[in-house]
Amino acid sequence: MLIKNYTILPIFLLVLSWPTSASENVILARITNMQKADSDMTKIRKSTSNSNYQQAREAAESIKNWANIMLDYFPKGSGASINNQSTASSQIWENLELFKYFIENKQKGANHMLFAAENENKQALIKAFNATREACNACHEEFRN
């Protein structure tokens, strides 16, 4: 009987903690990707002053790729809570259309940055960089606690 209880308890705890750790992983992954996007934006800003278009191209591509998949990293119920380190507002799932709209703006910004970097067009790159920066900030203002 004693042995039986020892076997059941860990399984019981595992089952209890399983959903939490799954959403915890997705939260950690999106935070890591957001931080990467931030350092990519810094790279692009620097690229405009030293005309390193190769670096700008790679960074814009990385932001674009993340923008294309980021929605999947915000499953319902993965907002900020006392059990995780997320700062994502629960408003995301109340107003998903607006969240998607901000994602689209970010995608457009990234596409424009990529195009400008490929064409080595500094003015266009600066313009696209500023538009992308605004897309990042607009979403954060609305959906980050």
Given the complex with ligand HEC, which of 35 and 119 has the nearer CB atom?
35
| Smaller CB separation from ligand HEC, 88 or 125 | 88
* Cα-based distances in Å from 89 to 33, 78, 79, 105, 124: 18, 9, 6, 19, 33
What own/partner pairs with CB < 8 Å and gap ≥ 24 does 107-115 have?
107/64, 107/67, 107/68, 108/135, 109/63, 109/133, 109/134, 109/135, 110/60, 110/63, 110/64, 110/67, 111/64, 113/44, 113/56, 113/60, 113/63, 114/57, 114/60, 114/61, 114/64
Interacting residues with ligand HEC (CB under 6 A): 27, 30-31, 34-35, 37-38, 41, 63, 86-88, 99, 102-103, 106, 132, 135-136, 139-140, 143-144
For residues 125 and 136, which CB has a smaller minimum distance to ligand HEC in the complex?
A: 136
Residue nearer to ligand HEC on the CB measure, 15 or 82? 82
Contacts by residues 79-82 (CB-CB < 8 Å, ≥ 24 positions apart): 80/145
